[in-house]
A and B are shown apart, each in its own frame.
Chain A
Amino acid sequence: MKILVTVKEVATVEDEFEIEGTAIADQYLGADLNEWDDYAVEEAVQLQEAGLADEVVTVTIGPEDCEQTIRQALAKGADRAIRVWDDALEDVDVLDVGAKTDILEAVVEDEDPDLILTGVQSGDDSWGATGVALAEDLGFEWAAVVNHLEHDLDDGVASVRRELEGGVEELTDVELPAVLTIQTGINEPRYASLRGIRQAQRKPLDVQGLGDLGVDAAAVEGAVTLTEMYEPESESDVTVWEGGAEDTAGQLAELLREKGVAP
């Protein structure tokens, strides 16, 4: 069985930052492996360790800069990686769900995986929709927000739990091939070992352009435009206690005593 995992490098933002136009100024941005995708990679690698998967392949839409993040996934145990990039993607400020789906669909057609794992959402733009849209596009089954997967995949069925709101889980059987969007907490993502990091440098990382995949460059323009970005106005009338830790702790202690909730 082959597993394809979507891996995204997300932008992280410092506590203090400035906005320039419709983007956060570069100097306040960092980059990291998307938290949800980290769990998806781990789940795939565990399926491989359980003897169910023969190969774990990652796919990333992103520029050359994100290869360090891709190597992280390889260091954790993925066998090889595909990175998709194109000049046409350079100036796109919102790569919307439809555009991502078109690109990923082309990769899936080349790779023909039995199972696709994606993070539930990404930590930066939080669409939370690409996995399910991709499944529909491919004619695969799917399940969104999966926080448990039985590792036997009996008779081509994945038995999963979906994490609903309010502490309720739904038990669902999903026919393969399928796309599962993976929720944090499904496993404990490993740290890459030194050996893993060394090996990752030698693992194949294949770069594909839109033309290689047969995707029309017009597809990436998408239907959605980002027109504004701003810091949300605080509606708060919070009382901020000032001073050193002892002063502020003292003020909080006083409040707790006033409320009668502390001795």
Chain B
Amino acid sequence: MTDVLAITDHRRGELRDISYEIITAGRELADETGGDLHLAVISGTVDEFAEKLDRDGVDAIHTVDYGEEFNHGVYSQAVTQLYDELAPQYVLAPNSVNGLDYAPAVANELDLPIVTDAVGLETDGDTLAVTREMFGGKVETTTELEGEAIVTIRSAEWPVAEGTGDAAIDAFDVEIDEGALGSTVTGFEEVGGGDVDISEADVLVSVGRGIEEEDNIPIIEELADALDATVSSSRPIVDNGWLPKNRQVGQSGKVVTPDVYIAIGISGAVQHVAGMKGSDTIVAINTDPNAPIMDIADYAIHDDLFDVVPALTETFE
């Protein structure tokens, strides 16, 4: 039991980036265990996907040709059967919305420990040390476990695997119990849209929880007006209904790449950072000098936004 099995992720006909990142994570782990790296690609155009996934370091790719889109019942059954067949030491899955919709079920079914949202992995062959965050990124921790395990890995923590590999590609003969599939995906819908596309903006004035209440949003809008910029936000602002969904930057919102991103009262949760780290210049205004946003900001003001933002607006009026 030294091999690593990594499960890839795709949606609406496209492999997601995490599928190439998980190859890198899986290869590193397989090098430490001295085993092989097996990939699985489940549902959709699996043969086409397998060709794309055949990158450096992949030893085998198992295709499960069943269904078109993600269904957690199919994934759970397929991964469980792959585990029984391949007997890997570690199973890696994406810490994506879909990964979290089947990996815990597989862990429970197989009676394996699960550690989620890993940002680092290390093993001496027996003990697995997983680095993960707690308290919204304020601390990092190491958790250890012995023996086999399932780990979900955070996106964008490992580089995407490059190069062309020489993997053995085989069709895995899965037996899906259709009677056990109690959920059905009936469609997809894009959310947001509407008046503004924040992903096209050159300058974003982005507001977070630090704004405290809806009545304070106008001070952000006044700044955006003065700068001829667009207003965007972190998740809690949209959850509270203070701005529409199409303004949300982040993993579950839009990915933005403006010239300048001014993060006001935004702490910088990982889900938010995922959506804006590609901005050319990042400015953070936040009273907390230890907020995670400071790790990716180019410029920072550690002060009260209610003092700084009106003063800034005034300089342009």
Q: Select from chain A the residue with minimum beta-carbon distance to B307.
A: A245
Q: Which residues does chain B contribute within 8 Å of A133, judged by CB atoms?
A: 104-105, 107-108, 114
Closest to A163 in B: B252
Please give the distance in Å from A238's CB to the nearest CB on chain B: 5
| Shortest CB distance A27–B (Å) | 15
Instruction: Quote the shortest CB–CB distance from A14 to chain B (angstroms).
Output: 10
A127 at the interface (CB under 8 A from B): yes
Asked if A194 is an interface residue, CB under 8 A from chain B, the answer is: no
Of the 9-residue stretches A15-23, A62-70, A72-80, A208-216, which lies at the interface with chain B?
Answer: A15-23
B138 touching A13, Cβ below 8 Å: yes
* In the bound complex, CA of A130 to CA of B105 (Å): 9
Residue of A13, A224, A228, A240 near B145 (CB, 8 A) is: A224
- Indicate with 1 or 0, residue by residue over B63-84, a CB within 8 angstroms of chain A CB atoms: 0000000101000100000000
Residue of A nearest to B130 (CB): A224
- Evaluate contact between B301 and A128: CB separation under 8 angstroms: no
Give the CA-CA distance A236 to B296 in the complex, in Å.
6
Known contacts A136-B104, A136-B109, A227-B129: A167-B138 contact under CB 8 Å:
no
A171 touches B186 (CB 8 A): yes
Q: Which of A44-52, A95-103, A109-117, A196-204 contacts B (4 or more CB under 8 A)?
A: A95-103
Complex: A101 Cα to B138 Cα, angstroms: 27
For A131, the closest partner residue in chain B by CB is B104
Chain B residue at minimum C-beta to C-beta distance from A105:
B108
- Tell me if A's interface is mostly helix, strand, loop or mixed: mixed
Find the residue from B72, B140, B236 having the highest chain A CB count within 10 A: B72
Q: Given the complex, which residues of B lie within 8 Å of A123, measured CB to CB?
A: 135-136
**Taking A142-B105, A171-B185, A261-B202 as contacts, is the C-beta distance between A224 and B290 under 8 angstroms?**
no
Quick check: is B141 within 8 A (CB to CB) of the other chain?
yes
Interface residues as binary, B104-116 with A (CB distance below 8 Å gives 1, 0 otherwise)? 1101110101111
Q: How far is the CA of A145 from the CA of B114 in the complex (A)?
A: 18
- In the bound assembly, the distance between CA atoms of A129 and B252 in angstroms comes to 18
- Which residue of chain B lies nearest to A24 when distances are taken between CB atoms in the complex? B139
Q: Does B240 contact A (CB under 8 A)?
A: yes
CB distance from B73 to the nearest CB of A (A): 8
How near does chain B come to A46, taking the closest CB pair, in angstroms?
Answer: 16
Instruction: Return chain B residues, CB-CB under 8 Å to A255.
Output: 281, 283, 299
**Chain B contacts for A223, CB-based, 8 A:** 113, 145-147, 149
Known contacts A129-B104, A142-B105, A184 near B239 by CB under 8 Å: yes
Interface: B86 (CB within 8 A): no
Asked if B109 and A252 sit within 8 Å, CB to CB, the answer is: no
- A170-B185, A184-B236, A263-B316 known; A129 and B138 CB under 8 Å? no
Given contacts A128-B116, A164-B97, A185-B238, contact A232 B140 (CB under 8 A): yes
Interface residues of B in 268-317 (CB under 8 A from A): 281, 283-284, 287-291, 294-304, 307-309, 311-312, 314-316
| Interface: A172 (CB within 8 A) | yes
CB-defined interface of B233-270 with A at 8 Å, one 1/0 digit per residue?
00110111100011010011111000110100000000
Q: B64 → chain A, closest Cβ, in Å?
A: 19
Closest A-chain residue to B111, C-beta based?
A: A98
B191 and A169 form a contact (CB under 8 A): yes
A249–B311 CB distance below 8 A: yes
B51 close to chain A: CB less than 8 A: no
Q: Does B190 reach chain A (CB closer than 8 Å)?
A: yes
Q: Which of A126, A135, A222, A250 has most B Cβ within 10 Å?
A: A126
What is the distance, in angstroms, from A193's C-beta to the closest C-beta of chain B?
Answer: 20
Task: Knowing A167-B254, A227-B143 are in contact, say whether A129-B103 is a contact too (CB < 8 A).
Answer: yes
Q: Please indicate the chain A residues that have their CB under 8 angstroms from the CB of B104 in the complex.
A: 97, 129-133, 136
24 A-B residue contacts at CB 8 Å? A11-B135, A13-B139, A15-B287, A15-B290, A126-B132, A129-B103, A132-B102, A133-B105, A164-B252, A166-B251, A167-B252, A167-B253, A168-B11, A184-B239, A224-B143, A226-B142, A227-B142, A229-B142, A230-B139, A236-B297, A245-B307, A249-B312, A252-B262, A263-B228
Q: Which 3 A-B pairs have the closest CB atoms?
A: A245-B307, A185-B239, A223-B113
- 15 more contacts with CB within 8 A, not counting A166-B255, A170-B185, A259-B260, are A13-B135, A15-B287, A98-B107, A123-B135, A123-B136, A130-B104, A142-B101, A178-B182, A185-B239, A232-B133, A234-B295, A249-B309, A255-B299, A256-B203, A262-B228
